[in-house]
Chain A
Amino acid sequence: GESVGLHLPTLSVQEGDNSIINCAYSNSASDYFIWYKQESGKGPQFIIDIRSNMDKRQGQRVTVLLNKTVKHLSLQIAATQPGDSAVYFCAENPQAAGNKLTFGGGTRVLVKP
């Protein structure tokens, strides 16, 4: 079972289906965003980034969408695989924050075979 204090939103998805993970950010001055994947016991791993002059960016099986009007970021994973099971974090870099990232709370993705 889950440990006390671990209250991550969880997305359960069937293997092969598409996953959509959402993130709301609060700082309208943020101009750079990154999605990270974190597997149990490991450090966060870069997936994809996007700058505020874009609203969509595609990578290998992943797409990030940015809606600056409502301050919303999403990560789409195509054809989800068991290896995609992890916690996903969005991170933002507000212009005034210099050279550091501010992370959101994370979403756990569980891929069912």
Chain B
Amino acid sequence: DTGVSQDPRHKITKRGQNVTFRCDPISEHNRLYWYRQTLGQGPEFLTYFQNEAQLEKSRLLSDRFSAERPKGSFSTLEIQRTEQGDSAMYLCASSLSGRRGAGELFFGEGSRLTVL
């Protein structure tokens, strides 16, 4: 399978714990995005990398959230001191740069977080 893969698919944690999600994009894609999706809503942009550079962060990304893409390949999204409001599906997507603008984003299956 050469699509975007995310791990873990499901994570249940207690409030206050830290969690980390991993995303492996399509190998030739240099752009990588993190989105958050709550039940019944469309995905909301969190952050975006071009190669290893984090180029944009949403105001939704509080200081408890951090994302890295150290070698320009896989990325991690860490949430520290989780709160119940962090419960959501965390989606990763990748794309190829080239044309101006986002282009087609290829999404992974998501990592569902439940904070008890």
Contacts and interface: CB of A to CB of B under 8 A. Distances in A.
Interface of A: 3, 5-8, 31-32, 34, 36, 41-46, 49, 89, 91, 93, 95, 98-106
Interface string B38-58: 111111110010100001100
Contact of B42 (A3, A41, A49, A89): A89
Interface of B: 4, 31, 33, 38-45, 48, 50, 55-56, 91, 93, 95, 97, 101-110
Given A43-B107, A43-B110, A106 B41 contact: yes
Nearest to A102: B45
Given A46-B104, A46-B106, A99-B101, 13 more contacts: A43-B108, A43-B109, A44-B43, A44-B91, A44-B107, A89-B43, A93-B102, A100-B56, A100-B102, A101-B45, A101-B102, A104-B42, A105-B41
B45 A99 contact: no
Mostly, the B contact residues are: loop
A18 B105 CA distance: 27
7 interchain residue pairs of minimum CB distance: A103-B42, A43-B107, A6-B40, A93-B102, A93-B101, A100-B45, A44-B107
7 contacts: A41-B109, A46-B104, A99-B50, A99-B95, A100-B33, A100-B56, A105-B40
